[in-house]
Amino acid sequence: MPPRLAESFDNVIRRKGYSNRSEAVRDIVRRFLVEEEWAEQSAEVVGTVTLVYDHHVHDLAEALTDLQHRSHNQVICSQHVHLDEHNCLETVVLRGEASAVRKIADQLIAARGVKHGQLVCTTTGREL
């Protein structure tokens, strides 16, 4: 590894609290493997979707619930938090084929009235 690259790497891992390079490399390799799982459309993956929306937006809460019911095979659970009088936060845990999980997440995030949505792509952990 070029010395400057190693130095930059060491600075970052120190800041992030890794005790040594191999600990950091291990995490990076795992992240890489999880990304590859997601690239394989039929691989079984786990994902969490976080949504923030205004429940006063007409039909939105119902549309989000409908979407989850239609994907009941992939939806493991959901959690709803009333952030204030208007805003809700919902997290949905999904498990299934990467292509299916991504599609459900995209539909939830794209629903009209969702202010912010994000999919975290993670793993069943079995291959790590």
Q: Near Ni ion by CB under 5 A, which window of 15-23, 65-73, 88-96, 111-119?
A: 88-96
Collapsing DSSP to helix, strand or coil, 19 comes out as coil
Angle between helices 98-110 and 60-70 (to 10 degrees): 170
CA 95 to chain centre: 11
- 88 touches Ni ion (CB under 5 A): yes
Please give the backbone phi and psi of residue 58, each rounded to the nearest 5 degrees, phi first. -55, 125
Q: Which is nearer to Ni ion, 25 or 83 (CB)?
A: 83
Rounded-to-integer distance, Cα 86 and Cα 80, Å: 13
**Taking contact as CB under 5 A, which single stretch among the options 12-20, 47-55, 66-74, 98-106 is the one that binds Ni ion?**
47-55
Which one of the spans 30-38, 51-59, 102-110, 117-125 is the region binding Ni ion (CB under 5 A)?
51-59
Tell whether residue 64 is a contact of Ni ion (CB under 5 A).
Answer: no
Q: How many residues bind Ni ion (CB under 5 A)?
A: 3
For residues 91 and 100, give the distance between their C-alpha atoms in angstroms, rounded to a whole number: 17
Contact status: 116 vs Ni ion (CB under 5 A)? no
Site residues, Ni ion (CB under 5 A): 55, 82, 88
